[in-house]
């Protein structure tokens, strides 16, 4: 492949021709991010790492996500450069959360290097009952159309399909809903996100889905409506739930306590209570633990 030096439109046209037959649909550059090392370094320069610790789990207009994942995934910016930039801005102690994120990204890659294709199979026995499907199980039509009737899913799915990006916390919500509420196989969900994410890589994506499902964790991850309202709240006070059809019709599947949802989803497999963040076991609040999906 020749070295690309043209403008973005010329580059997109060249790549569309070069990779003809390897993708489906019209080749559309993301309106959110521009590729390349120059764009990656610029993104790193404007990244507010000081805000990251506070706002990293938010979605929508308040989100503190770095948007660096695509550049790290494709080697436009190295992990060392991302760490050095943060330390130079605010010091190592203040940048701890960001450095931890970079460490997790490296961990997934090392896991993949060690286990290879093994990561596409359950790494452990699930801690709760899961679907018996696999990666070839068809994704439901309402998911493909981003028309599930749940704002916390549809807004994020539209972003994924149109821009190649989904906020980290929204990925966790989607994975938990897909696997535990819809009872679909994690393998098919992982394949869907990998297909569209600009930052999709086999290690981070696949093992993160296993973390949610409980095949690479000691318990499953799930959430309730309160979690969505907390982390999707915009400065004007509105949340994903404000205009959600399911909220208006009182059919929101997440509108319950963690205890109630845990019993509903997992029956006797659920061992938690309303204080543990909605997860089986008694080892703390997984909702506040480090999330598996890397930004």
Domain co-membership, 101 together with 242 = no
51-73 per-position pLDDT tens digit = 999 999 999 876 789 999 999 99
Which of 59, 86, 118 terminates a domain? The answer is: 118
> Which single residue is written with the structure tokens 């799915």?
157
Residue 86 inside a domain? The answer is: yes
Position 180 confidence tier, pLDDT thresholds 50, 70, 90:
very high
Domain co-membership, 47 together with 161 = no
| H or E element in which residue 182 lies | none
Query: The whole model's pTM is what?
Result: 0.90
At residue 74's C-alpha, the angle toward residues 68 and 75, to 5°, is 85
Residue 109 inside a domain? The answer is: yes
Instruction: Name the residue among 178, 283, 186, 287 with its Cα closest to residue 228.
Output: 287
CA separation for the pair 127, 218 (Å, rounded): 7
> Which single residue is written with the structure tokens 């450069």?
81
CATH number at residue 212: 1.10.579.10
Residue 69 inside a domain? The answer is: yes
Instruction: Name the residue among 64, 58, 96, 185 with its Cα closest to residue 132.
Output: 185
Residue 51 inside a domain? The answer is: yes
**Domain housing 200:** 124-288
Q: What is residue 1's predicted lDDT score, i.e. its pLDDT?
A: 57
Q: What is residue 102's predicted lDDT score, i.e. its pLDDT?
A: 97
Domains contained in the chain, number: 2
Residue 130 inside a domain? The answer is: yes
Q: What is residue 227's predicted lDDT score, i.e. its pLDDT?
A: 98
CA separation for the pair 212, 27 (Å, rounded): 31
Q: What is residue 64's predicted lDDT score, i.e. its pLDDT?
A: 85
Domain co-membership, 216 together with 237 = yes
């Amino acid at each position: 492949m020749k070295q690309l030096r043209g403008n973005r439109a010329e580059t997109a046209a060249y790549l569309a021709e070069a990779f003809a037959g390897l993708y489906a649909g019209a080749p559309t550059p993301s309106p959110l991010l521009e590729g390349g090392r120059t764009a990656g370094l610029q993104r790193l320069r404007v990244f507010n790492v000081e805000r990251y610790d506070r706002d990293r789990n938010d979605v929508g207009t308040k989100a503190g996500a770095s948007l660096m994942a695509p550049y790290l995934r494709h080697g436009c910016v190295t992990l060392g450069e991302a760490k050095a930039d943060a330390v130079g801005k605010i010091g190592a102690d203040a940048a701890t959360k960001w450095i931890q994120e970079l460490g997790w990204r490296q961990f997934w890659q090392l896991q993949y290097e060690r286990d290879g294709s093994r990561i596409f199979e359950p790494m452990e026995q699930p801690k709760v009952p899961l679907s018996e499907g696999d990666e070839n199980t068809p994704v439901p039509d309402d998911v493909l159309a981003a028309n599930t009737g749940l704002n916390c899913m549809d807004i994020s799915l539209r972003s994924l399909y149109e821009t190649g990006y989904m906020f980290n916390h929204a990925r966790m919500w989607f994975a938990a809903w897909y696997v535990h509420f819809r009872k679909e196989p994690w393998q098919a969900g992982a394949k869907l996100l990998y297909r569209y994410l600009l930052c999709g890589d086999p290690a981070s994506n696949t093992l993160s889905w296993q973390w949610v499902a409980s095949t690479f964790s000691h318990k499953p991850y799930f959430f309730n409506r309160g979690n969505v309202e907390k982390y999707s709240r915009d400065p004007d006070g509105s949340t994903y739930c404000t205009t959600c059809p399911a909220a208006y019709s009182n059919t929101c599947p997440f509108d319950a306590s963690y205890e109630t949802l845990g019993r509903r989803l997992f029956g006797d497999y659920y061992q938690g209570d309303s204080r543990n963040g909605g997860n089986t076991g008694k080892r703390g609040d997984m909702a506040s633990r480090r999330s598996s999906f890397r930004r």
